[in-house]
Structure 1
Amino acid sequence: MTLMGLVVDDEPDIEPPSRQQFRRDVRARRFDMDFARWAKQARRRVVEAGERRLVPILSGTHMPGMSGPDMLPRMRARRPDGPIITILAYGDNRTHETALEQRADDRLINPIDFVRLIYDVETRLGTVA
């Protein structure tokens, strides 16, 4: 089964550094990466993922159409098997509480610490060395 990381963020500048940080894993075919800029696009990517094991990384807290915290339970309902990591733009307590209430598996705060993000993904998938 192939693993797919799905980064959901309405900011286009998140894609280049994400691709750069995960390039070795993608090149080694450890997993695929996909990006969505809003909720409708993310839902379509989840359906298209098919049997691939999915790791949604919800980065956009305030996105057009639906926020990351609002999308989290919908993502969880569609794919209860995989971890969901949220990346919060704001470190305020209410945002953290919302992520916890919506059953996020982990919460990171921007700017993204890619070393920790990669470690968290690998740990949750049982692939950490």
Structure 2
Amino acid sequence: MLRFSSVVLVAVTLVILGNLAGIECNTKSDCGVAETAFGMCVPYMTGEERNVLPYKCCAAVRSVKELSPTRAARRETCECLRRLMAQVGRVDGRRARGLPGACRVATNVIPTSLDFPCYRLA
């Protein structure tokens, strides 16, 4: 039988992911794909999950990196994720900054704050 806290965590995660469905999660563009994939990291970045989940969030970080092979693509993906973070709200910048290292994915595409300068990405 599931403990009450596990049920609450699952419910909160479903609510967050359900809310993301209303955030232009169209998978017809690379931005839509990046938003949809990166949605798996939102519960960690908002503090709902204590640890990065490798099979969800880290897979999403890898997907985001793969969507960004060029300078222009990195900037576009970063802007897309920054807009997603603005819509989600209370994102922990420290957690966002640590995602690539925690997932062992070398990428600088993930914005760490709402004023992150995506236009400076090389």
Shared fold (TM-score greater than 0.5)? Answer: no
- Give the TM-score of the pair, scaled to structure 1: 0.38
- Give the TM-score of the pair, scaled to structure 2: 0.39
Identify, as 1 or 2, the structure richer in helix.
2
Max Rg structure: 2
Identify, as 1 or 2, the structure richer in strand.
1
